[in-house]
Structure 1
Amino acid sequence: MNLYYFRPQKILFVGFLVLFILSIYLLLGNQFYQQHIIANYKSHHMGINNTKVILLWNEFFDFENWKLPSNLLGPQQFEEWNCPVTNCILTTNRTFLKASHLYNAVVFHAASFYSVLYAKPFVRTPDQLYVFVSQESPATTKHYLGDEKNFYNLTMTYRLDSDIPFPYGYFREKGSHAVVAPNLKPNWLEPVKNYTNEDLLKIIQGKTKTAAWFASNCNTLSSRENLVRDIQMFMDVDVYGKCGNLTCTRYSSECDSFLNKDYKFYFSFENTLCKDYVTEKVYEQMLRNIIPVVFGGANYNKFLPPHSYVDVEQFSSVRSLVDFLEWLGSSPQEYVKYFWWKEHYELTFVQPYCKLCEILNRPGLKEEVHIVKNIEEWWYGNQCRVRSKVFFV
């Protein structure tokens, strides 16, 4: 009877003991994994004391790991990214080091909320860099910047005047791999006037549909939904997503296939008209055999090869835009000339953390470090407009 009476207590005790041992194991295992990254680097490189640790402070939208392979990336990852400097560690784990002020740089994603618990670090060292990051336009900034004067050292955004540019894509020369754009003054080759490509001509001549548009945000500051509505008064536009009546899983092989095969134009319309704001809506189409029709606040020549796209704001009216698209879509020899650039350039992506790692290793970093005095003015001031240059209702 006594054994039976004490058995439940023994089971509970053993259960708590197992949970305690398991928690210790996981804690030490995580620390071991973290130390393994440093130890592995130390065994292959000199100067471990010079390793720079970068903390990604908050979430990148719904991606806790910022779309990165892991929440902890060591110098090996920087080598795989072909960074010129690789002695950096990148993590989203705030407990990787004992305190936030021990990190060489702390990166803040401005387009995501800052939680109440982790709004800002409590302690900061004079030589620690705070980095303002956003690939989205100012309209999507999720927190108040007015109390962040003299807070950031570096900006890492889509804007070309950022300390670390963070565009959605780069164009580089084939062969030399020299990056041409985005750039304030890109050195593009002149478009080949008599360019032709027989294989591409066959694909173009098989296209049966005029234009496609994928959108889920149907009430935008740029009023792109109104622009599409006006265009539809004169030509067919297939609208996929929440803003239309057609469906297709974005990024699926099915979508990629029929866009390449069936459509002549894709509407790469931005949700805001902001300087330098060129998103994946354009770059995704540059990988296909389709001409993007762009609508945004950027000077697209700084981002895309000349004669590779149609810019809505180069036309005085929707009617004149449609007339041009109908002419171009019915002229295969002229249409194919928009792909001349593919024989000279290729689309690629460069990790912005390469540049950040390089900055952290500059010998005169302490003397070079600057403070963004008024991030609110820098981010919002004279960057976006509401009115389009082309008239539509």
Structure 2
Amino acid sequence: MKTHAIRTFLFTTILAGLGYFAYFKAFLHDKTSQMKSVYAIAFHQKPFSETETPRLPAADFKTRKLIILLWMWPRGYKFPLGVCLAKYGIDGCHLTANRSWYENADAVVIQHSDVSSNISLLPPQTRPSNQLWVWFNMEPPIHLSNLHKMDNLINLTLSYRQDSDIFSPYGWFENLSESENFTIPKKNKLVSWVISNWKPQDKRVQYYEELKKHIPIDVFGRGHLAVPDGKILPTISQYKFYLAFENCQHRDYITEKLWRNSLGSMTVPVVLGPPRENYELFLPADSFIHIDDFPSAKELAAYLLQLDADEEQYRRFFNWRFSRVVMIHSWVTHYCKLCKAMHQKVKHKTVPSIEKWFI
């Protein structure tokens, strides 16, 4: 009996020891896995994923990249987001359009026209602490509605206006490190204009109607001449002058009509928009022709014909190209500039009324 009892005791003890060892091994493995997971997140051992919701410990917010959430793709356009470093030398942010990142986003960018029709399209009103809401807009006031819906919601403004918290124009100049030669494309035509939204009551259409009485103008767009797919700039570059006419006259509203269509195609821009003084904040005074410089469309036409006959005078409008290069925005440009501004600790506040400021 004693021998049997001793054997039973030893067998039970061994089984208990093996069970405890297995439990302790599993416990250590689980803790080790947890520690590895925390370490990986804190030190970015793997890239952010667009398919998972982040759960970062609060302490890690001091060292991680800032998270900028696009609440909606602007106007529905989708584009690569991870290009700020390669394109602009701007780093330190994770741009995402995945709303599962909302709780951890440092900034949420709201493009006005995407939410203006329905306030329910805005992000949840109960936002995480220290999260900034950024009002993003590249349209003039005449095209905006329901600005009052943004009252006391916005912390930063991002737009083409120079007095925005983050100023992001349609285009800009960058200085060349050294002077470069350039070649003006061969030009065998005089004046062109591309227009997609024809409204007879607009100032630009009315001015065109008067100008065409005195000088030939080729108009491209709906209801006019067709442009071969993907060849808008090569087409425009055959002309000496381009009508960079804005659809409205608003402070700082100088769009791709000038930056891309005209300067991007090596034509001399004839501008209609804000006053000349406003243009000169962005452009050399001798790089463009403003309609306000002439008492009438007839005098403007006479000047363009004079330049057409005088090659030396015409070429002077290109002198700036020896020392500068034109940069044209893409959608992601604006978000990259926001990233840079946030790292520079741009001052933020709660804007009582976007409407009072912008209009």
SS in structure 1 at match of 2:67: strand
1:94 to 90, 99, 110: 99
> Take 1:352 and 1:198, find their aligned partners in 2: how far apart are those partners?
29
Q: RMSD of the alignment, in Å?
A: 2.9
> Take 1:324 and 1:303, find their aligned partners in 2: how far apart are those partners?
24
Unaligned runs of 5+ residues in structure 2 are 1-40, 49-59
Mapped pair 1:133 → 2:112: no
Amino acid at match of 1:236: P
1:56 to 50, 54, 70: 70
> Take 2:327 and 2:182, find their aligned partners in 1: how far apart are those partners?
26
2:127 to 124, 127, 130: 124
> Take 1:167 and 1:159, find their aligned partners in 2: how far apart are those partners?
7
State the match for 1:147 in structure 2.
149
SS in structure 2 at match of 1:159: coil
Amino acid at match of 2:94: I
Once the two structures are superposed, the pairs formed by residues 28-177 of structure 1 within 5 Å of their partners are 39-40=45-46, 49-63=63-77, 65=78, 68-69=79-80, 73=82, 77-84=83-90, 86-95=91-100, 97=101, 100-114=102-116, 117-141=120-144, 143-175=145-177
> Take 1:378 and 1:238, find their aligned partners in 2: how far apart are those partners?
39
Is the Cα contact below 8 Å between 2:162 and 2:252 reproduced in 1? yes
State the match for 1:247 in structure 2.
226
Identity of aligned residues (%): 29
Per the TM alignment, residue 38 of structure 1 is displaced from its structure 2 partner at its CA by 5.1
TM-score, normalised by the number of residues in structure 1:
0.69
SS in structure 2 at match of 1:211: strand
Question: Relative to structure 1, is the Cα distance of residues 249 and 155 closer, same or farther in structure 2, using a 3 angstrom cutoff?
Answer: farther
Question: Relative to structure 1, is the Cα distance of residues 40 and 305 closer, same or farther in structure 2, using a 3 angstrom cutoff?
Answer: farther
Is the Cα contact below 8 Å between 2:199 and 2:205 reproduced in 1? yes
Is the Cα contact below 8 Å between 1:220 and 1:272 reproduced in 2? no
Is the Cα contact below 8 Å between 2:237 and 2:267 reproduced in 1? yes
State the match for 1:281 in structure 2.
257
1:18-74 CA distances to partner (integer Å, 9 max, x unpaired)? xxxxxxxxxxxxxxxxx8x954359xxxx67432111111231131x3xx215xx3x
Per the TM alignment, residue 132 of structure 1 is displaced from its structure 2 partner at its CA by 0.8
State the match for 1:369 in structure 2.
348
1:207-233 CA distances to partner (integer Å, 9 max, x unpaired)? 332211111111177421111111111
Larger Rg belongs to? 2
Per the TM alignment, residue 325 of structure 1 is displaced from its structure 2 partner at its CA by 1.0
Amino acid at match of 1:139: I
2:194 to 193, 214, 224: 214
> Take 1:118 and 1:102, find their aligned partners in 2: how far apart are those partners?
19
State the match for 1:388 in structure 2.
none
Per the TM alignment, residue 314 of structure 1 is displaced from its structure 2 partner at its CA by 1.7
Is the Cα contact below 8 Å between 2:107 and 2:133 reproduced in 1? yes
Per the TM alignment, residue 117 of structure 1 is displaced from its structure 2 partner at its CA by 4.9
Mapped pair 1:344 → 2:346: no
Question: Relative to structure 1, is the Cα distance of residues 198 and 302 closer, same or farther in structure 2, using a 3 angstrom cutoff?
Answer: closer
SS in structure 2 at match of 1:170: strand
Is the Cα contact below 8 Å between 2:234 and 2:265 reproduced in 1? no
Per the TM alignment, residue 361 of structure 1 is displaced from its structure 2 partner at its CA by 3.4
Per the TM alignment, residue 147 of structure 1 is displaced from its structure 2 partner at its CA by 3.3
Q: Which has the higher helix share?
A: 2
Unaligned runs of 5+ residues in structure 1 are 1-34, 178-196, 381-393
Question: Relative to structure 1, is the Cα distance of residues 237 and 137 closer, same or farther in structure 2, using a 3 angstrom cutoff?
Answer: same
> Take 1:354 and 1:259, find their aligned partners in 2: how far apart are those partners?
30
1:245-274 CA distances to partner (integer Å, 9 max, x unpaired)? 311146x23x3323223x111111000100
Once the two structures are superposed, the pairs formed by residues 190-339 of structure 1 within 5 Å of their partners are 200=184, 203=185, 207-219=187-199, 222-242=202-222, 244-249=223-228, 252-253=230-231, 255-261=232-238, 263-284=239-260, 285-298=262-275, 299-339=278-318
> Take 1:39 and 1:150, find their aligned partners in 2: how far apart are those partners?
39
TM-score, normalised by the number of residues in structure 2:
0.75
> Take 1:164 and 1:176, find their aligned partners in 2: how far apart are those partners?
29
Per the TM alignment, residue 105 of structure 1 is displaced from its structure 2 partner at its CA by 0.4
How many positions carry a matched residue from both structures? 300
